[in-house]
Amino acid sequence: MSNVRSAQTDKVRFFGNTTPQELAAQYGTPLYVYNEDVLRRRCRELLSLSSLPGFHVNYSAKANTNLALLRIVREEGCHADAMSPGELHINKLAGFTPDRLLYVCNNVSAEEMKNAADNGLIVSVDSLSQLDQYGKVNPGGKVMTRINPGIGAGHHKKVITAGKETKFGIDPTSLDEVRALLKKHSLTLAGVNQHIGSLFMEPDNYLNAIEFLLHFVQSDLADLLPGIEIIDFGGGLGIPYRKYEEEPRLDMAELGRRLHALLSAWVEETGYKGKFFIEPGRYVVAECGVLLGTVHATKFNGENRYVGTDLGFNVLVRPAMYDSFHDIEIFRDGGEPDTDLVEQSIVGNICESGDILAKKRMLPLIKEGDIVSIDVGAFYEGFHGDNAWTFPCGKVSEEAQKLMDATRESLFLAIEKAVPGNRIGDIGSAVQQYVEARNYSVVREFVGHGVGAKLHEDPSVPNYGTPGRGVRLLPGMTIAIEPMVTQGSCEVKILKDGWTTVTKDGKLAAHFEHSIAITPDGPVILTSLD
């Protein structure tokens, strides 16, 4: 590839037989792209840390609840955590059974805890008051407690989750109160867990915390040890975010040797026959995904160069929330790779001063139209959705802008017709009448469609039609409306790659699309980033 600074993804053949440019052209940006091989490799690395029969990897689903990723994690033999009813639901959709799920919650309602218990999950509570609430909704049941070991670690104060300066866990000195509540509600202490923080790159603090918890269980919980089924050490294993600076990786071989030795010796000493959990999230998924965005504008404010992209903090919030660093790669077709680095800030498209992805970063000169890749995991978006948008690359002609404006406006006029009782023809007619009145043409070879369990479902939703004709719209339907409008003839052709489509007469075209839910209260746009 004649790309700019693409060595990291090229090194692992992240994009396989395609390119970021091809993916962006096919699916649009912002676009999360995942590599299955990397994901499976990370799962196997973690599972190999110990060969003890009771050792399990409990993937922390909050890191990324993408359904396809969750299914792969399950296939590789991992368990999973859930921290909310939504996470519980998506984990179940991915095929996780109650025996492979743990509910680790924080300051939730009694109803939420009861829901988890009713689904057959063991619930971990975070405070004495939560333990009391849980006992009231599930008397005689099993429960876990989260212990604050007083040892915290992490790259940022906001991700350190143990010690006196955090909200998490029960103080180990409160065992008398724990025992009293267990007795009050006839609860069985089925496990203990902890989590000291995130993104640590050396094993010492993690292993020290594990050693603390094991000692705590053996000494302070000796009378309860026979009933303990799970000891959960938490996660927080880090990955290198500064690969271009040769940031070293966490030594997993060393971690595995020391962890296995520690657990084996403790099992031999205590006769423990239960399970050990580790709870990684980031380590499982972060390096299997990248986020692609498009550069739409560049400018100087004083001496500061800003690169404007479609990657607002509604797409990736971590830099704004945690001051997190992500390696950035620039992909560009043609020309010679840039060698000189220029200080520039990569910003998003949200009207907030904090919408900054990378501040004053030394990078090759980024130009309008470039594809920008950010190394990161992502969020679950639910069932299939379909969305398209046409963006100007820098400054465009007045004619091109008018075409885009008309196409976008026709989309929203069509959406207004997506109400119960109307028909598909009402939608198509709204598009057709608006654009043809402005001397544009509607592409007829490609149409909108139903969207849901599959990306393309019935009914077809053409961008032309007769009012009052076609399938009737009913509450609960979800459809994708996508006007494709040209300056000249409506005829198009597909290029040799089997995907790229251009007008036969070589004139400009525009394409806008939203996925829409039909509701009794009117249409709801499902693919808006606002």
Q: For the chain, which domains are there?
A: 1-34+286-378 (2.40.37.10), 35-280 (3.20.20.10), 398-525 (3.90.230.10)
Amino acid (1-letter code) at residue 235: G
- Where does residue 123 fall: left (phi above 0), alpha (psi -120 to 50 degrees), or beta otherwise? beta
- The pLDDT, as a whole number, for residue 148 is 83
Q: What is the sign, positive or negative, of the torsion defined by CA atoms of 197, 199, 205, 210?
A: positive
C-alpha span between 19 and 21 (Å, rounded): 5
CA angle, residues 52, 175, 58, in degrees to nearest 5: 30
Q: What is the mean pLDDT of the chain?
A: 86
Q: Indicate if the pLDDT at residue 323 is higher than 90.
A: no
Q: Mean pLDDT across the stretch 9-16?
A: 83
Nearest to 482 by CA among 526, 440, 431: 431
Q: What is the pLDDT of residues 488-518, one digit of tens each?
A: 888 888 766 566 677 888 788 888 888 899 9
Q: What is the pLDDT of residue 33?
A: 94
341 confidence band (pLDDT: 50, 70, 90): confident
Q: Taking the alpha carbons of 492, 493, 497, 499 in that order, is the dihedral positive or negative?
A: positive
DSSP type of residue 147:
B
Cα 364 to its chain centre, rounded Å, is 28
Packing angle between helix 398-416 and helix 424-436, nearest 10 degrees? 160
Tell me the pLDDT band of 396, cut-offs 50, 70 and 90.
Answer: low
Q: What are the CA-CA distances from residue 522 to residues 259, 443, 519 (Å)?
A: 57, 27, 5
pLDDT confidence band for 49 (50 / 70 / 90): very high
Catalytic residue among 288, 351, 393, 490: 351
How confident is the model over 456-487, as pLDDT tens digits?
788 999 999 999 999 999 999 999 999 999 98
- Region 380-389: mean pLDDT is 66
Measure the CA–CA gap between 237 and 243, rounded to whole angstroms.
16
Contacts for 301 with CB less than 8 Å, ≥ 6 apart: none
| Higher per-residue confidence, 337 vs 285 | 285
Residues 55-71: tens digit of each pLDDT: 999 999 989 999 999 99
Residue 393 is among the residues annotated as catalytic for this protein: no
Residues 6+ apart with CB under 8 A from 351: none
